[in-house]
Structure 1
Amino acid sequence: MSFFIEMLLKLFFILSIIPFLLSEKLQKKYDMKINPQIAYTYFTGPKKVALIGEEFIEETSGMAVSRKNPSWIYVHNDSGGEPEVYILDTLGTFLGTIRLEGVENRDWEDLAIGPGPEEGKSYLYIGDIGDNFGKFEGLIIYRIPEPESLEKEMTVSPEIIKLIFPDGPKDTETLLVDPISGDLFILTKREAKNTLYKAAGDLLKDGHTVELEKVMQLPITLSVGGDVSADGSQVLIKNYWVVYYWERTEGETLEQTLSGKATLLPYEPEPQGEAIAFSPEGNTYFTLSEKKLRVNPVLYRYDRAVVDK
């Protein structure tokens, strides 16, 4: 039965993406905006940066742009991949690998950057948070400091933080870390309205198990990735078809920001686009797909629109 449900979900995805692919082709052909709800005044694009040719980077599910080295992009594969984070530059060139020692890639689904136990340091949060059939007792977050320098092959022993839901297992693919509070957020995927859960930053300690707090439902379904800008002022969440965007007012919690109305940003339809990330300055966001339907993944960038004065 599980196999049958998975096949139905894949069929639904393939059928549902056809209108978006057609609309994107029409838009390019006739130079018109198919979806009037999309705000092209915030960000423009896409710009095709590069075709990612490395065979070991073909199930990209998580992405984050380095806060220490803005020319680095961290990516990882999802379930069945190696327990490794790969480093690209912002032109799509492969630079190196960080291998997480003593752990496995059960179903890594998203990647975030934020504060951690040592003040002033920047940390990678790797979310082993996928659970297609709701069977895992808990989710796992692996936390490692950003590397100080670049080597072709690096190995690190991660902190391991376990998360459990207060109301039973959930499938999730979106991980957010608030750079202001240090709080961590998980967004579910399967429901008609995805549910946001929170773990307070001061509870995120190596070896600890944290029960997530249920925060609210969002009018989004099939969420697959997200990011918070380095200064905490902007938030992105995407599903397979749409990029949602919020601007945060000073003094707001992240929950308060996400309870407001989202703006829809430009997005290039991808075969299975699950990864999205801001540049450290917050004036660019990148997207990257898994390799699906024999289509190689393309790194796209979207730049802040220039407003004429």
Structure 2
Amino acid sequence: MNIQFLQSARKIVSIGFMLLSASVLAQSPFYPAESRGEIENNQINEASGLAAGINNPNMLWTHNDSGDKARIFLLDEYGHFKAEFKLKGVDNRDWEDIYTGPGPEAEKNYIYLAEMGDNNAVHELKYIYRFEEPKLSDESREISNIEVITFIYPDGRRDAESLFVDPQTKDIYVLSKREQNIGIYKAGYPQSTSRTNTLEKLGEMPFFNTVAADITPDGQEILTKTYDGIYYWKRDGQSIADLLMTEPTFVPYVIEPQGESIAWKKDGSGFFTLSEEPREIEAVLYFYRRR
């Protein structure tokens, strides 16, 4: 990997995005953040993942971090609470990301919920829960038809908070969190739901503390997020792994108290971020509109 790129990325992260020059900000493909308001439901206090609805247009899915009930929340794009859905037969050991997109059946939209947080790297097995995206209009608020994708890493136990699915191939991508050069891992489609999947390591990228990622519905644009910044890539014929090992565009970022969530709006017009609520600081939903 290009050493100059590694040094440049780490330097920019260390000074913080609030100190970037006006010329760098002007080159961003997104306008600065606009606040959409505080999250309405007080039970959403450790939002660790965010995904735009497909069966629920103009709405967002989120979930709490470790220790909460096995449930997901549906919000509108201004942080207003719409519904809570419970997941039957699973626990929330440490849920860290959520994604909406294609799955096994072509005409259905799925939610992928990542049970892969592991602060001390003590859990060998990690899980991805995959199920059809429910609708706000559904009478039931319980989800029971859940596929479990069990996986391990090829190079030891890892903590990870970033997951997305390539909409073109349905391959699952996981980015680890705590290494100076984090790993890029893939579970190729079709993922087994009857045996443990060993992820394939595809490369590394120099973004310690990566806590969120998402990809556009056409599979051409990717965002990742650390506690200090947001990074943007656009494909030009290369693979996802090769793309993520190139230099990204830095996006101006409103530093959040503990921001661990990012989600593209499904029409590609921008993206949302959301924070946990450390020290009882109310979480604010932000939207970054595309220029």
The TM-score, its normalising length taken from structure 2, stands at: 0.90
Work out which of the residue numbers 271, 274, 293 in structure 1 matches 2:279: 293
In the alignment, structure 1 segments of 5+ residues that lack a partner are: 1-16, 28-32
* SS state at 1:256 partner: helix
**Change beyond 3 A, Cα 1:293–1:149:** closer
1:11 is matched with none
1:220 matched to 2:190? The reply is no
Q: Give 1:133's aligned amino acid.
A: N
Structure 2: distance between partners of 1:40 and 1:56: 38
Of residues 143, 147, 159 in structure 1, which corresponds to 2:147?
159
1:62 — aligned with what?
49
State whether residues 56 and 136 of structure 2, in contact with CA within 8 Å, keep that contact through their aligned partners in structure 1: no
2:62 counterpart SS class? strand
- 1:19: how far off? 6.8
The size of the alignment, in residue pairs, is 278
Q: CA offset at residue 35 of structure 1?
A: 6.9
Equivalent pair of 2:28/2:249 in contact (CA under 8 Å): no
Cα deviation 1:123-150 (Å, max 9, x = unaligned): 1100001001111011100001112443
Tell me the CA shift for residue 205 of structure 1: 3.5
CA pair 259-156 structure 1, distance change in 2 beyond 3 A: same
CA distance in 2, matches of 1:35, 1:84: 42
Deviation at residue 37 of structure 1 after TM alignment: 3.9
| Matched letter for residue 278 of structure 1 | W
Equivalent runs, 1:121-200 vs 2, <5 Å: 121-151=108-138, 154-157=141-144, 158-200=146-188
Q: Report if aligned partners of 2:28, 2:252 keep a CA contact under 8 Å in 1.
A: no
SS at match of 1:300: strand
Query: 1:46 Cα shift?
Result: 0.7
Counterpart in 2 of 1:284? 270
The secondary structure found in structure 1 opposite 2:141 is strand
2:204 is paired with a residue whose SS is strand
Greater Cα offset, 139-148 or 222-231:
139-148
8 A Cα contact 2:150 2:195, kept in partner: yes
Structure 1 residue 294: Cα displacement:
2.6
Aligned to 2:289: 303
Displacement after TM superposition at 1:291 (Å): 0.4
Q: Does 1:246 align with 2:233?
A: yes
Gap change, CA 1:49 and 1:153, over 3 Å in 2: farther
1:39 and 1:264 in contact (8 A); partners too:
no
* Unmatched segments (≥5 aa) in structure 2: 1-12
After TM superposition, what 4+ stretches of structure 1 lie above 6 angstroms from structure 2?
Answer: none
Amino acid at match of 1:200: G
Question: Residue 272 and residue 230 in structure 1: after superposition, are their counterparts in 2 closer, same or farther (change >3 A)?
Answer: same
Asked if the contact 1:38/1:263 (under 8 Å) is kept, the reply is no
Give the match for residue 98 of structure 1. Answer: 85
The one-letter code matched in structure 1 to 2:112 is Y
Give the TM-score, by structure 1 length.
0.85
User: Of 170, 186, 198, which aligns to 1:211?
Assistant: 198
Which residue is 1:4 aligned to? none
Q: What do the CA deviations read for 1:82-136 (whole angstroms, capped 9, x no partner)?
A: 1111000111110001211011000000111221110121111000010011110
> Cα RMSD (Å) of the superposition?
2.0
Q: 1:183 to 1:233 in 2, by over 3 A?
A: same
**Residue type of the alignment partner of 1:109:** E
